[in-house]
């Protein structure tokens, strides 16, 4: 099986596991839309959507880097529309974006709890809901991650 010509909507693809998945798909010649919040360099974080897109292109894929907060339903819908407009559809959704804090209940601020549930729950659902009409039109659709 090859991912050549397949279009992937990748949340959280600017670094880590998401970038690794994107690079593997790029080696097959996939189209990869990288949806992440990191458009500008942050000294605390490695990579941006633009450095990830450059790596995807260097590996043989085609990249569309878009700044997207997956908790924002309208922005996700717009990103899906941009992806479909450029690549003609979406074959695979990789819900990779996540937020975590490895602390106990007493040491986890409610603001951080809200972020984790907003990204991990709501964001995953928003991406799945927005991509699903296009996945249903794909000959062999795939979805990974929550929801």
Q: Which of 36, 142, 42, 136 is nearest to 96 (CA)?
A: 36
Structure tokens belonging to residue 41: 């360099």
Give yes or no for residue 99 having a pLDDT over 80. yes
First to last CA, the chain: 25
Sketch the domain layout of the chain as residue ranges.
Answer: 7-144
Write out pLDDT tens, residues 25-64.
999 999 999 999 887 787 777 889 999 999 999 999 999 9
The answer to whether 59 and 26 have CB atoms below 8 angstroms apart is yes
Only one residue has tokens 């907003």, namely: 118
Average pLDDT over residues 97-123: 93
Which pLDDT score, from 0 to 100, does residue 7 have? 97
CATH of 7-144, one of 3.40.640.10, 3.40.50.720, 3.40.50.1820, 3.90.550.10: 3.40.50.720
Three-class secondary structure of residue 128 per DSSP: helix
- CA pair distance 142, 31, nearest whole angstrom: 14
Query: What's the chain's length in residues?
Result: 147
């Amino acid at each position: 099986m090859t991912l050549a010509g397949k279009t992937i909507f990748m949340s959280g693809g600017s670094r880590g596991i998401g970038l690794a998945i994107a690079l593997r798909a790029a080696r097959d010649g996939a189209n990869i839309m990288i949806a992440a919040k990191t458009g500008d360099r942050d000294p605390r974080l490695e990579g941006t959507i633009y450095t990830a897109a450059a790596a995807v292109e260097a590996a043989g894929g085609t990249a569309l880097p878009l700044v997207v907060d997956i908790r924002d339903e309208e922005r996700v819908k717009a990103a899906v529309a941009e992806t479909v407009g450029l690549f003609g559809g979406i074959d695979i959704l990789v819900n990779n974006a996540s937020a975590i804090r490895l602390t106990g209940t007493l040491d986890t601020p409610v603001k951080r709890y809200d972020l984790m549930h907003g990204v991990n729950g709501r964001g995953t659902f928003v991406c799945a809901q927005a991509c699903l009409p296009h996945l249903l039109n794909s000959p062999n659709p795939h979805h990974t991650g929550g929801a």
